[in-house]
């Protein structure tokens, strides 16, 4: 699998639109400004994943992408442990940082993740003029690599490189940061690329 510069740019732009909608919904929920980085799109060899995600504890809220594209793939909100705790604290008006992650954090992450990812998919699907819906979410708080690898095992049975779309979101006021990860299966990636190509050749 190889992507041209043009395809990478188109994917970045698509992700940019989705992520900015997700970021603004996070901003509303936290009632403060949220900055986002320019999305990165990289082809990552599954054996190099451990260089990006190691075994530090983090939270991952995942959704399967459902809708018109069969075997879509996964969309995830990744958040380092401390950020996840600060997120719950901010939402519930608490300050205690030196505590274990609890079910309360998991519920907060599921809620926030659900709203953000719905926004992401809605915005990208509207642009592509297709229907994409997030499945009910699931959350884990575990080693970063272990969680990502478990999701990637679902999409990488026939491929050794996965496309990793990553945008960092940062809310400086509450020191909350996280990443949006998009892991399409090959059929979804192909479909999205061809829709993007049509969109661009249509002069939009």
C-alpha distance from residue 118 to each of 83, 110, 137 (Å): 21, 12, 11
The correct pick among 4, 95, 157, 201 for binding another protein (CB under 8 A) is 157
Q: Which is nearer to another protein, 51 or 197 (CB)?
A: 51
Binding mask 20-59 for another protein (x = CB under 8 A): --------------------------x---x--xxx-x--
- CB atoms < 10 A from the CB of 187, how many? 13
User: Nearest distance from residue 42's CB to another protein, in Å?
Assistant: 19
User: Nearest distance from residue 191's CB to another protein, in Å?
Assistant: 20
DSSP per-residue codes, 16-47: HHHHHHHHHHHHHHHTS--EEPPPEEEEEEGG
Q: Residue 5 interacts with another protein (CB under 8 A)?
A: no
Q: Minimal CA–CA distance to 124: which of 177, 50, 72, 53?
A: 72
Q: Residue 117 interacts with another protein (CB under 8 A)?
A: no
Residue 57 in contact with residue 142, Cβ under 8 Å? yes
The correct pick among 104, 146, 170, 195 for binding another protein (CB under 8 A) is 146
Query: Which residues have CB under 8 Å from 192's CB, separation 6+?
Result: 11, 14, 69, 128, 184
User: Nearest distance from residue 97's CB to another protein, in Å?
Assistant: 18
Q: Quote the crossing angle between the two packed helices 186-201 and 103-128, to the nearest 10°.
A: 40
Number of residues written out for the chain:
204
The correct pick among 97, 153, 197, 200 for binding another protein (CB under 8 A) is 153
User: Nearest distance from residue 33's CB to another protein, in Å?
Assistant: 32
| Structure-block tokens of residue 173 | 């006021």
User: Nearest distance from residue 141's CB to another protein, in Å?
Assistant: 8
User: Nearest distance from residue 59's CB to another protein, in Å?
Assistant: 11
- For residues 93 and 17, give the distance between their C-alpha atoms in angstroms, rounded to a whole number: 31
Q: Residue 1 interacts with another protein (CB under 8 A)?
A: no
The correct pick among 95, 96, 136, 201 for binding another protein (CB under 8 A) is 136
Cα torsion 67, 124, 151, 166 to 10°: value is 180
Give the interface with another protein as residue ranges (CB under 8 A).
46, 50, 53-55, 57, 62, 64, 136-138, 140, 142-154, 156-158, 160
């Amino acid at each position: 699998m190889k992507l041209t510069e043009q395809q990478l740019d188109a994917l970045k732009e698509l992700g940019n639109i989705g992520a900015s909608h997700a970021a603004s919904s996070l901003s509303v929920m936290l009632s403060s400004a949220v900055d986002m980085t320019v999305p990165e799109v990289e082809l990552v060899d599954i054996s190099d994943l451990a260089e990006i995600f190691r075994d530090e504890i983090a939270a991952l809220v995942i959704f399967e992408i459902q809708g018109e594209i069969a075997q879509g793939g996964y969309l995830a909100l990744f958040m380092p442990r401390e950020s996840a705790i600060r997120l719950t604290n901010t939402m519930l008006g608490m300050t205690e940082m030196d505590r274990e992650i609890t079910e309360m954090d998991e519920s907060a992450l599921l809620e926030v993740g659900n709203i953000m990812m719905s926004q992401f998919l809605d915005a990208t699907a509207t642009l592509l003029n297709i229907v994409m819906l997030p499945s009910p979410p699931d959350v884990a708080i575990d080693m970063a690599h272990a969680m990502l690898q478990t999701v990637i095992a679902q999409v990488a049975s026939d491929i050794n490189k996965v496309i990793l779309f990553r945008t960092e979101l940062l809310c400086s006021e509450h020191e909350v940061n996280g990443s949006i990860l998009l892991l399409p299966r090959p059929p979804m990636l192909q479909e999205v690329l061809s829709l993007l190509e049509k969109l661009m050749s249509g002069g939009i």
